[in-house]
Amino acid sequence: MLLFGPPGSGKGTQAVLLADLLRLPRISTGDIFRQQVKERTGLGREVEAILQARGLVSDELVNRIVERRLEQPDCAGGFILDGYPRTVPQARMLDQMLARMGRGKVVVNLLVDYNIIVGRIIARRSCPVCGASYNLVSKPPQQDSVCDRDGAALVQREDDTEEVMRKRFEAYDQQTLPVMDFFRAAGYRVVEVVGGNGAPEGLTAAIRARLDAE
Per-residue pLDDT tens digits for 2-45 = 999 999 898 989 999 999 999 999 999 888 888 878 888 887 78
Per-residue pLDDT tens digits for 116-159 = 999 999 999 999 999 999 999 888 999 989 999 999 999 999 98
Residue 162 lies in a domain: no
In the three-class reduction of DSSP (H, G, I as helix; E, B as strand; rest coil), residue 187 is classed as coil
Q: Is 100 a catalytic residue?
A: no
Range of the structural domain that residue 93 is part of: 2-113+192-213
Residue 38 lies in a domain: yes
Percentage of the residues of the chain whose pLDDT score is greater than 90? 69
Residue 78 lies in a domain: yes
Per-residue pLDDT tens digits for 77-87 = 999 999 899 89
- Give start and end residues of each alpha helix (H) in 4-58: 11-22, 29-39, 42-52
**Residue in 208, 170, 188, 204 with CA at minimum distance from that of residue 85:** 188
Set 45, 157, 166, 184: catalytic member? 157
Q: Is 168 a catalytic residue?
A: yes
In the three-class reduction of DSSP (H, G, I as helix; E, B as strand; rest coil), residue 28 is classed as strand
Residues 6+ apart with CB under 8 A from 70: 27, 79, 97, 101
Residue 73 lies in a domain: yes
Residue 92 lies in a domain: yes
In the three-class reduction of DSSP (H, G, I as helix; E, B as strand; rest coil), residue 206 is classed as helix
Residues 6+ apart with CB under 8 A from 179: 4, 85, 86, 87, 88, 90, 91
Residue 99 lies in a domain: yes
The mean per-residue pLDDT over the stretch 152-176 comes to: 93
Contact predicate 204/17, CB 8 Å: yes
Set 168, 189, 208, 210: catalytic member? 168
Q: Is 125 a catalytic residue?
A: no
Q: Is 38 a catalytic residue?
A: no
- Helix 59-70 vs helix 88-101: crossing angle, to nearest 10: 30
Residue 97 lies in a domain: yes
Set 69, 120, 124, 125: catalytic member? 124
**CATH number for the domain harbouring residue 40:** 3.40.50.300
Structurally, how many domains does the chain consist of? 1
**Cα separation of the two ends of the chain:** 14
Q: Is 86 a catalytic residue?
A: yes
Beta strands in the chain, from DSSP E residues, in sequence order? 2-4, 26-28, 80-82, 106-111, 124-126, 133-135, 189-194
- Give start and end residues of each alpha helix (H) in 123-199: 162-185
Residue 214's pLDDT is 67
Residue 163 lies in a domain: no
Residue 68, pLDDT above cutoff 70? yes
Measure the CA–CA gap between 117 and 212, rounded to whole angstroms: 27
